[in-house]
Amino acid sequence: MSGNQAPMRERAKAFFEDLQDRICAEIERLDGKQKFREDRWEYAPSGEASLRSGGGGGITRVIAEGAVFEKGGVNTSAVAGRLPEKMAQRMKVGEGDFFACGISLVLHPRSPHVPTVHMNMRYLEVQPDDGSPLDGWFGGGADLTPYYLNRDDAKHFHQALKQACDAHDPEHYPRFKQWCDEYFVVKHRGEARGVGGIFFDYLRGNLEGDFPFVQDAGNAFLAAYPPIVERRMHDAYDDAQRQWQLVRRGRYVEFNLVYDRGTLFGLETKGRIESILMSLPPHVSWVYDHQPEPGSPEAELVAVLREPVAWV
C-alpha cells in the first residue's frame, strides 16, 4: 500500500464486485428473457476459525432457463478464516489466517453452437503464524469450451485476452496461455477441457503492478465472450448435436470436481456449497465409450483438444 490508498484487499474486492455488476448486465441483455437471481450470504466457518478472523460473505447470482443461457453463475466473495493445514501445504504457504476475495463465473448456453465460458479472478492473503510478513498474491484466468469448433471464435477469444496481457508485459500471454493449456486438462481423458485462454497464479512481489493487469484481464471478458454469443446464438441445431453437447458437458463436470483449484479451495475452507457448485451444468450425459464419427465435426473438436493450438 502506498500513500493514502486503501488496502489491496479492499480495492480488489471493490473491483470484483463492480465487474460482477457489469458482466451480469451484459449477460441479461444477451439472454433477453431471464434475469439473475441474487443470494447474499455470510461465511461462518466452524471450529477454530470462528474464534479467530473468520467471517465475510459473498454475492451469488444465477441465471437459469433463459433464452440463450440454460444456466450460469457470476459470483463474488470475500472471506477470511483459518487456513486448513492441508490447504497451506498444497499452496506452499505457512499456516495462518487467510483472506480471499474474487469473482468466478461459468455460463452454460442452451445452444451447442455457443461455447461454455469460465472466468475467475482472485486475490489471496495469508498471515503466517510464525510472524513472517503478510503474503499476498493474485491468480485467475479465463477459458473457452466449445462443443463445435469454430476457429474464428477461438481466435477472437484469445486475441482479446492477448491484448489485455500485452498492455502490461509481452511475455504474459505466451506464458499464461501455456499455463492454461497445461492446467485445464482432463488428465484421465488425455484431452483439454476446451480451446484454452489464459491462466495465472501466485502473482506476488509487485501487487501494485499486478493489480492493473488483473483489472484489464477481467475487463477483457466483455470483449472476448459476448461477441461470440451474438454470432452463434441463433444457429439451428438438432437432437444429435444437443446430445453431443451433453456428453461434452460431462467432461466439464469431471474437471471441475477432480482438478479445479477453486472448487477444492472452497470445499476445504467450508465455503458455501451452492456457490461452489454453481459451475455445474443443469443437464449432462455420460455415454459408455462414446466415440465421435471419424471425419465428423465432433471428431475435429476432439482432435484439437488433444493437442494445444496457437490461436493467435
**Cα–Cα distance, 78 to 12 (Å, whole number):** 10
**Cα–Cα distance, 139 to 259 (Å, whole number):** 16
Report DSSP state, residue 259. T
**Cα–Cα distance, 260 to 192 (Å, whole number):** 13
Q: Which of 108, 113, 118, 172 is catalytic?
A: 118
Is residue 118 part of the annotated active site? The answer reads: yes
Q: Containing H/E element for 71?
A: strand 69-82
Helices (H), the chain: 8-31, 85-91, 151-166, 172-183, 207-219, 221-224, 226-232, 239-258, 261-268, 273-276, 297-305
What residues are labeled active site?
Answer: 118
